[in-house]
Amino acid sequence: MERKTLPRVVSAGRSSLLFMLVLTVLNLAFAFMNSNVSFPYSSYFSMFTIYVGFLSITVYDSLAVGLIYVLIGVCVLSVFLISWFFSKKKVHWFLIAFILYLLDTGFLVWISLSEGFDPAYMIDYAMHAWLLYSLGAAWIQGRKLRYWVEEEEFAVIEEADTLQ
């Protein structure tokens, strides 16, 4: 890959991560409004746990269990948000987001197959695969970019030493 495209790949990874976070929050808002609108490009585990927590509180009057579920879902979303925020400077945050989203994808596959195969989940699988690809590419290319920048800085320092 050309060196000029590396920052764009990293930027695309960050944008994809932020887009997923926004759509997850929108999906949660639509779920709380009892709307049938949902977007496939979101964190399935976070939505599931927050919604189950909400149902535990409102329907089953179990505040403690409901708050635990909501807290787990919010913590997962927080890790994604922290990964997005810090990935601008440290590319290992892409790997953390990748692993977390890989677990989310596993949860999606488990839930969808436990209900029996439904072709409606295929778009969810495709969107999860796309975000996994985007995060993985951003991590790999971000590491290459970091090493190239370090090599250039080292070359500039060596050149300055030889001029003295």
Domain assignments of the chain as residue spans, ordered by start: 3-163
At residue 141, the pLDDT reads 87
144-163 pLDDT, tens digit per residue, is 876 555 454 444 334 444 44
Among 33-42, 66-75, 81-90, 154-163, which stretch is predicted with the lowest mean pLDDT?
154-163
112-145 pLDDT, tens digit per residue, is 888 887 888 888 899 999 999 999 999 988 888 7
Long-range pairs, 91-99, Cβ under 8 A, ≥24:
91/10, 91/138, 91/139, 91/142, 91/143, 91/145, 91/146, 92/139, 94/10, 94/13, 94/135, 94/136, 94/138, 94/139, 94/142, 95/139, 97/17, 97/135, 98/132, 98/135, 98/136, 98/139
